[in-house]
Amino acid sequence: MPMAMTPSPPPSDRPRILFLGDDIQYNPDIYQRLASQFDIIHPQSADLHRPAFLQHLRDGSWDRFQAIMRPSWHTGGEMGNWDQELIELLPPSLKVYASAGAGYDWVDVVCLARHGIVYCNGAGASTEAVGDMALWHIISVFRNMTSSLLAARSVDSTQFSHAHHDLPAISYNPRGHTLGIVGLGNIGYAIAVKAYAAFGMKILYHDIVRKSPEQEEMVKAEFHPEIGSMLRKTDCLLLATPSTMGGRPFLTSEILAQLPRGSRFVNIARGSLVDEEALAEALRSGDLAAAGLDVHASEPHVNAKLATMPNVTMTCHTGGGAVETKTGFERLAMENVEKVLNGREALTPVNAHLIKELMTNGYANGHGMNGERNGTL
């Protein structure tokens, strides 16, 4: 059961944390450690909806807090995107915002950097779960699992027999096939390790940063600095790259045209990276044999065309959906805040490099870095 939160103490000289979302459920010991060092402000859910939240920031209702933590991905985000409108209202005392979740396409990390605020995500907490989900989708797109599942659940003996007799002729084992990964960060590399170990897949990857020779050797990975050279050799393309706020899709008709006919596609990154109409057309034409989608462009809504295709496997953005992930998100959000407020480096900073660049150039949103705001990043 979630632990009951004690009321916020009266104002003091201790640093203040604005706590967004549900009570701590999995790491009460860390929460109590935080509460012993800092004052924690825990607004009601009604205060987090965007109009109310922005008004509270304008009014200074929560005084000059130094940190924000959002330990649960499913709550604490009622105010919507953290864009310039919202960020401009944050107090100059704020040093760090630590949130659950690995992706950060809902928060303008560049704008936060201009204000000297380090953003920390839940990197690492969801790696194992998302990696496992990716393997499930890889199996599905090679073995036509959705068609088989639908036929079995139809309780129709004719559909069952068709699937039993017909699917083997268009199904393949993943072993020996080429997996092209876009984005070999923590999650992408974990998927490479699993796919190489479990299926013996050949690993190709494209990223802005190359892995070390030791990491490449572990999975016999082949680096492609130019995306086209990788696409032309790929049997299954997998997206594991971040999306940014307002970013354009990566998977377009132009990218799809560079894949071999009959290849496969898996997305466990962000739905906004995919032009879903172009994907549907590639599947309809046979240019793509199958697709596996854990994420969707207009969540919680899924593309109606894709949803009707038996060669498309869909899940409900549950790639990271495991108790271990939720536990890790909580822990990282609290420990990141604790580190920064105690003058140490954050564990999972996303934009610390941008803040350092801005500090070097003596620039932050036109009025210089606020000295009080900058802590040890």
Tell me the catalytic residues: 270, 299, 317
Strands of the sheet with 236-239, listed across from one edge? 222-223, 202-206, 178-182, 236-239, 263-267, 288-293, 312-314
Distance linking the first and last C-alpha atoms of the chain: 34
d(CA 259, CA 261): 6
Closest CA to 315 of 125, 132, 111, 53: 132
CA–CA–CA angle 66, 320, 17 (5° rounding): 10
Helix, coil or strand: residue 336: helix
CA pair distance 268, 137, nearest whole angstrom: 9
Distances (CA, A) of 342 to 8, 98, 107, 127, 252: 20, 14, 24, 27, 45
Element (H, E) at 316: none
For tokens 């790491």, the residue is: 27
Separation of CA 195 from chain center: 20
Q: How far apart are CA 377 and CA 375, in angstroms?
A: 6
Q: Are 236 and 178 in contact (CB under 8 A)?
A: yes
